[in-house]
Chains A and B, each alone.
Chain A
Amino acid sequence: MDARGAVIVGAGECGARAAFALREEGYAGPTTLIGEETHLPYERPPLSKEGMASDASGLKLIADAAHFADAGIRLLLGSKVIAIDRAAKTVSFRSGSTIPYEMMLLATGARPRRLPLAEASGHCLYLRTQDEANAIASRFRQGAHVVIVGGGFIGLELAAAASRHGCTVSLLEAAPRLLARAVPPEIAEVIGNVHRSNGVDIRLGVSIAGFQDMDRGVEVHLAEGAPLRADFCIIGIGAVPNTELAQEAGLAVDNGIRVDGTLRTDDPYIFAAGDCCSFPLSIYGGRRVRLETWRNAQEQGTLAAKNMAGGNIEHAAVPWFWSDQYDRTLQIAGLPDEGTQTVRRDLADGAFLLFHLAGDGRLVAASGIGIGNAIARDIRLAEMLVARRAVPAAGSLASAAVKLKTLLAA
């Protein structure tokens, strides 16, 4: 029987960062990182970006095998944990083998939400893994017609990638606008216009009636109007947290594995972090959220490791993410829906920032879009202002002549 140690279930960004962070925190026990994919842990953000097809075989590894070995991290890849025995403190595999733990982290991530209407079609693809990205990229070719279902980040980033590779792209969204869940309408409108000017046929408020496979490709039937012919479809309608393992072990699930501010589940020996967990966001008074972002996966993996190694640190970070589409980058710090009023600051070359203020004037989020990294520095400064619960004057936020750094010093 192995000595008890730290077991991390899930070898994505969150799990891999947690494994290294345990060592950085001085944790000396056996550390095992378990992943279902056979690849070494890799970065997922590039999978949906434009470079995907030109560099599909090149994984961007989080660390190579030697780094894991040097840190004394045992990698169990291509392995699926099927059960947790909380009384015995073991995880078990289909083979019947078990690994004992003293502390466990569930970093099980999320999976694409399936579209029931598309289940019977052989031409509807989803994106989460490198292998799925390769399958999509191998179908991108000049003149191919792609129908993308879903106007969220995965759908839009893949629409940009497909159109850059010469595909004819139609994007169908059920809601009346793009990116309705996390992005202010002003920015979603810019994104939509960039797609349209690149030839993407964006259709909003569309209901799909069904998919019919043809000799070649697939026909997408709509509730209204003529069907669309496509060589293939990509479905990007959101993600579902992988909570089954936790639920079967009797842990609370509430739109994700439920954890407290220190990322502990209701079992003191089991933590959860990243896309799979719902947690209280302290900057918004403990509002319970689940975030599906790269930075959150990193930060929470690191935080969980600190607490597994004996710490008792509360999550305090401001949510942040970015998206690249064509030559534009958007970034959002904080959750814009916390705001009740918006102040706009225009920058050079069509770039702009939106500052989202609560009723009491507190800056609760900032969002921006521009060419290249035009808005990056300001969003970073705004993130710091949000973290400090700053109440900047609306006039200062609106004027590009006022450097945000000076507001930080105030």
Chain B
Amino acid sequence: MSEWVEACAADDVEEEDVIRFDHAGRTFAIYRSPDDEYFATDGLCTHEKVHLADGLVMDDIIECPKHNGRFNYKTGAAKGAPVCVNLRTYPVKLEAGMVMIQLD
């Protein structure tokens, strides 16, 4: 069953940046793109379980802080070695200044 969960305030994430959000034993990454849209993915890199929120956001790419594995955080697509498994993404909406993400 899917549910919408409040992840953070919209202002908590700077433009072209990412923060970590933990919920019910899981960890997620919440992104704000340079064109001011919000996105959410699983929080750990698919290569070695490193928190992506410590990584660098450039345009629509999140780069893992450990080994520079790169993903498109809007689609979850892995962008080449060392990452080959895509990142799971989650629907996001803004409600009363809060970032909500839809979990299953």
Chain A residues near B (Cβ < 8 Å): 17, 20, 43, 62-63, 294-295, 298, 302, 322, 372-374, 376-377, 380-381, 405
Contacts and interface: CB of A to CB of B under 8 A. Distances in A.
A373 B65 CA distance: 7
Interface in B31-67: 50-51, 54-56, 63, 65-67
Contacts of A373: 50-51, 54-55, 65-66
A322 B68 CA distance: 11
Chain B at the A interface: SS class: loop
B65 A380 contact: yes
Interface of B: 16, 50-51, 54-56, 63, 65-68, 81-82, 84
21 contacts: A20-B81, A43-B82, A63-B84, A298-B81, A298-B82, A302-B81, A322-B66, A373-B50, A373-B51, A373-B54, A374-B54, A376-B54, A376-B55, A376-B66, A377-B54, A377-B56, A377-B65, A380-B56, A380-B63, A380-B68, A381-B56
A377 B56 CA distance: 5
A38 to B, nearest CB: 23
Nearest to A294: B67
Contacts of A294: 67
Contacts of A62: 82
A63 B63 CA distance: 21
A377 B19 CA distance: 13
User: Which A-B residue pairs are the 4 nearest by beta carbons?
Assistant: A376-B65, A373-B54, A373-B65, A377-B56
Contacts of B63: 380
B16 to A, nearest CB: 8
Contacts of A63: 84
A256 B79 CA distance: 31
A240 to B, nearest CB: 26
Contacts of A377: 54-56, 65
Contacts of A298: 81-82
A374 B50 CA distance: 12
Contacts of B66: 322, 373, 376
A302 B68 CA distance: 15
A322 B55 CA distance: 15
B68 A295 contact: yes
Given A373-B50, A373-B55, A373-B66, 12 more contacts: A294-B67, A298-B82, A302-B81, A373-B51, A376-B55, A376-B65, A377-B54, A377-B56, A377-B65, A380-B55, A380-B65, A380-B68
A187 B80 CA distance: 32
A203 B82 CA distance: 37
A372 B50 CA distance: 10
A195 to B, nearest CB: 22
B22 to A, nearest CB: 15
A184 B63 CA distance: 26
A306 B55 CA distance: 28
Contacts of B67: 294-295
Contacts of A295: 67-68
B28 to A, nearest CB: 17
Contacts of A381: 56
Nearest to A378: B56
B81 A372 contact: no
Contacts of A322: 66
B64 to A, nearest CB: 9
Contacts of A43: 82
A370 to B, nearest CB: 10
Contacts of B68: 295, 380
